[in-house]
Amino acid sequence: MKLYINLIIVLFLTSGITAQEQHELKKIKVFLLAGQSNMDGRAKASGLSKEDKLRLKNAQKNVTLFYNFDKGNPLDTIKVTKHIAKKFGADYLFGPELFFGIKMSEKYPEHQIILIKISKGGMSLYGAWNPNWSLEKATLIKEQNQPKLYEEFVNYSKKVLSKYDEKDYDICGMLWVQGESDSGKKGGLKPRESYQENLTNLIASIRSDFKYSKLPFLLFQVGHGKVIEAMQNVAKSDKNVVLIPQVQDKNSEFYFERNPPPIGHYKTAAMKKIGTYFFEFYEKKFTHINSIKK
């Protein structure tokens, strides 16, 4: 009789652990995305193949994109403003989120996946994206009349997540595509020379504000000079930061074709690669559950 009771207790405890593990395995996967125009995306949706569109349709079953304060929609390309549409010759464009989301959906079809993205062209980390925003810094880089993007991003993301029980989701990582504005002449030397300090502070602030002390942070290399050096240094010094490199050698796997000047920005095939690399770099380094625990 005693053996029978012990067996029942063991089975009960085992079934409890299994249920908990199953809950962990089915948690909503949340990713944060932010940056300037190349995060916003200027790749033409018209360049997507039939296979791409079919993959996107399948991904829409379990991937939701919350973009620039909207209420959330199944993952899709974005209808852009008339100004941007005229410049790029297309009404619908996309950024890294599209193929990152597609790949995540294909790898985790049993999970709901939430992508929360705020992006705005031409905005710097020194000014609008700075967690320690000040009028002096914003004025120096001519962004004093622009929104405080870091504050808005955190508030928007928390509003989205407030609809869910904290036990039902994990914030799995953040994707960052920004650096061009801090690399330029606007604001002089300070934005580029302080980029490493500001990027380190951005990562620490995101982790603190969302209470994920080891939140993975994925960077895509943009900008030049001191800004690229800063990204490389931060990725070397923080084991939970990874940098996707970019080179000018057209034969390299890390070459990403842009539109010719003055339009610039990445073409459809290049943006597909960027989104795919974000997924692959994440999967390679950050899939262990302990790396994202609060």
Q: Would residue 254 count as lying in a domain? A: yes
Residue 261's pLDDT is 87
User: How high does pLDDT run on average in the chain?
Assistant: 92
Number of other CB atoms surrounding residue 202 within 10 Å: 23
DSSP assignment string, 223-244: S-THHHHHHHHHHHH-TTEEEE
pLDDT band for position 24 (50/70/90)? low
Mean pLDDT confidence for 148-174: 97
- Measured CA to CA, the distance from residue 58 to residue 51 in angstroms comes to 11
Which tens digit of pLDDT belongs to each residue from 44-54?
999 999 999 99
Mean pLDDT (whole number) for 114-134: 98
3 lies in some domain: no
Average pLDDT of the residues in 242-256:
97
pLDDT tens digits, 164-208: 999 999 999 999 999 999 999 989 999 999 999 999 999 999 999
Out of 14-23, 106-115, 128-137, 277-286, least confident range: 14-23
Q: Answer whether residue 194 is part of any domain.
A: yes
Cα separation, 155 vs 167, in Å, equals 20
Instruction: Give domain status of residue 230, yes or no.
Output: yes
Pairing of strands 169-177, 241-244: unpaired
Residue with the larger pLDDT of the pair 15 and 143: 143
For residue range 41-100, list pLDDT tens digits in order: 999 999 999 999 999 999 999 999 999 999 999 999 999 999 999 999 999 999 999 999
**pLDDT tens sequence across 5-19:** 554 554 455 455 455
Segment 94-117 mean pLDDT: 98
State the pLDDT at residue 26: 85
pLDDT at 22: 58
Place of tokens 């080891």: 214
Asked if pLDDT for residue 291 goes beyond 80, the answer is no
pLDDT for the residue 262: 86
* Residue 177 vs residues 11, 40, 171, 191, 246: alpha-carbon distances, Å: 49, 9, 18, 16, 12
Average pLDDT over residues 135-163: 97
Q: What CATH number has the domain bearing residue 249?
A: 3.40.50.1110
d(CA 103, CA 59): 8
Say if residue 201 is exposed, middle or buried (CB neighbours under 10 Å; 0-12, 13-18, 19+). middle
In a domain, 120, yes or no: yes
What integer pLDDT is reported at residue 11 of this predicted model? 46
Q: What is the DSSP letter of 134?
A: -
Q: Cα(97)–Cα(116) distance, rounded to whole angstroms?
A: 9
Question: Is residue 20 situated within a structural domain?
Answer: no
pTM: 0.91
Amino acid identity, position 247: V
Does 242 fall in a domain? yes
Residue 294 has pLDDT above 90, yes or no: no
**What's the total number of domains in the chain?**
1
Query: Is residue 202 assigned to a domain?
Result: yes
Residue 163 belongs to what domain range? 27-291
pLDDT confidence of residue 292: 54
